[in-house]
Structure 1
């Protein structure tokens, strides 16, 4: 993770990224419910810019398996730290929260747990099963880590039958050494390809951020790669610097350019392209079903 130096000056945030905070009682109610059930959300942990909008709509992306991550990706605001034992009651609490919020679509993601033999796959499956038992009509999306490329571990999650299987590439291959040093671009692509081969009826999804130092020319091969493995849904959004200790935003991409990315993805055969400055992998996730 790179820190900001005196010689580096942050770019001015453009007007299309200035968010007007909604005024809604649902925001405090959602926050209170999550706190009451002792749950984590990626909305809070990752300082998502859409947190206020989603919470006001009774929507949250649940973050399971703890607050600390076994990896240290440069873009992420979820810090590495001491890995805690898995909480066996967490799946039931996620299901209870989804029920109280009357969610129609639940997104479940996690920190990366390389310290656990199965990477937490069984815990993902237990959470899917708990939500489905509590709310049979609810659709479920999981945003999973790479499980270090283990195919059998991936199958544990797929066997629980999520409605969408999401795994983000996050950035272009040339930036992996600095942005995702503990991950592997080809391994992530292979995970998505295996998911499609093992359970073709479950839509696959992935996403990247722009503004980390990539060029538009580097984005096109990523779209080619995702089209080649029949990835059903692709999201592209603007990287926002979470803190001064994180890499600076190298560029703010204009909304019209995001529209071009979407057009290019569709030309390549990607069925669903969601590309805009504030798009995140789980933002308005229910509309993808």
Structure 2
């Protein structure tokens, strides 16, 4: 029987993208909270992978390389997690660089719109919170708006600003689904649909996403994640079985102050599923 009870946390973020902890701090936190297999999945970036692997091994953790790629699909932004790839793969690195490259102009337009709404200095303020300026994002703007006292927390920021129909929202064309899956699989890894319940897709759009993803060579879906409610675990367990996908598990942890779910806190995967780590045994970097 597959080991669905392994405490694997295969989705979290560091200061290399929009988290607040370093890869080393995350590794220690994961180990202290009982994680056995860990992956750092920074947005559109692999620059923290070697640090994360070294820190994981120093803490006694097994490690899988990871990233989370932003994808434009059917008018929505969806995320594809890559696991177990070669972190030095040139094609993957170039694809991620090109995906990141549009964030700077987008951030400046967000700041312009916020200024029209009476909020000055947001670009410079967001930059102070961005460990990697190439990856300046809505999360960094949100932290600035909280720091400035405009909102009480980041959840209020996203209710009032930075989402569609509100000041500061600027859409962006990300990678294609095909490219994201191929970058990951050509680098020896597995592509996984991240937190599918978050996207607000219609039933037809979701079916199209899963179908096209599988057609391009995608192999997994996050079933148990900090972004899903318990009843959604069952929904996406069924989807995993319907499409013949392996199941992944990850907290989507960003920060001790901001994240609902901490590293290692999720329940196990449903026993009827094949965990992604069963298919990635040869790619796990053992402690």
TM-score bucket (shorter structure)? 0.3 to 0.5
Larger relative contact order, structure 1 or 2 (CA cutoff 8 Å, min sep 6):
2
Q: What TM-score, normalized to structure 2?
A: 0.41
